[in-house]
Amino acid sequence: MQTTKLTRHQKDSTARAFLVAPALMAGYGLVRLAGRAVGDYGPGVWWSVAHVLFLAGVLAFVPVFRGLRMPDGVRGGRRAGVRVAAGAGLLGVAAVAVQAVIDLAVGFVAADDRAMSDMFEKVQDVPGVMPVVYTAVPMLFWLGLLALVTLLAFFRRDEVPARSPLLVLAGIVMMSMSLDLLTAGAVCIGLALFPMRRGLPG
C-alpha cells in the first residue's frame, strides 16, 4: 500500500511538471520583456529573476523527459527510439542548465552591461564552452523534445494528439526566431504537453 501511494505521488509530481516547466519558461519570457520595457534588463533584479525562472523551468523538464521515456505499451525498437530521444533531451537540459547558471553568475558579479559582455566573452572563449554550453549540445534539449513528442504521437495516438508535435515545433521556431517570443513559444509547448500527462506510466 505504501509503495502504491509513493508511486501515485511520483506520478502526480511528474504530471505537475508538464504544466510547471512551460509555465516557468513563459515566466522567464515575461520578466525579460518587462525588464527590457523599463530599460533595466542587465545586471540587477530583472536579469536575476528572469534567469532564476529560466533555470527552474529547464530543470522542471527533467521529470517531463523521464516521465515520457518509458511509455506503456511501447516495446522493442520503438521504446529504444523513445529512450534515445529522451536521453538526448536530458543531455540538452544539462547544457542549458549550465548556461543558465553562468548567466546568473555573470549577472550577479558584473557591474554594468559592458562588464557583463566582457565576462561572457571570456567564458565563451574557453575551448569547448561554445559548442557544449551555448550552441550544439543545448539544441538537443529542443530536438530531443520534438523527437520524443513526435514518436509518441505515432506510437500512442490514443493519448498524444497529432497537433502536439506541431505545437512543439511552433514553439521552438518562435523561440529561435526571437527571444521576445519566448512566452508565446512556451505556451505552445505547454499546450502540446498538457494532454500527454495521461500517458504517464503508473
Residue-wise pLDDT for 8-48, tens only, equals 656 777 889 999 999 999 999 999 999 999 998 989 999 99
Instruction: Give pTM, 2 decimals.
Output: 0.90
Residues in contact with 120: Cβ distance below 8 Å, sequence separation at least 6, in sequence order: 106
- ∠ CA(178), CA(48), CA(112), 5° rounding? 85
CA distances (Å), origin 17, targets 13, 59, 116, 139, 168: 7, 10, 32, 21, 16
Residues in contact with 4: Cβ distance below 8 Å, sequence separation at least 6, in sequence order: none
1 confidence band (pLDDT: 50, 70, 90): very low
Rounded to the nearest integer, the mean pLDDT of the chain is 90
On the question of pLDDT at 77 being above 90, the answer is no
Q: Which helix (H) or strand (E) holds 25?
A: helix 2-37
Identify the weakest region by mean pLDDT among 16-20, 126-130, 154-158.
Answer: 154-158
R_g of the chain computed on alpha carbons:
18
Tell me the average pLDDT across 170-177. Answer: 96
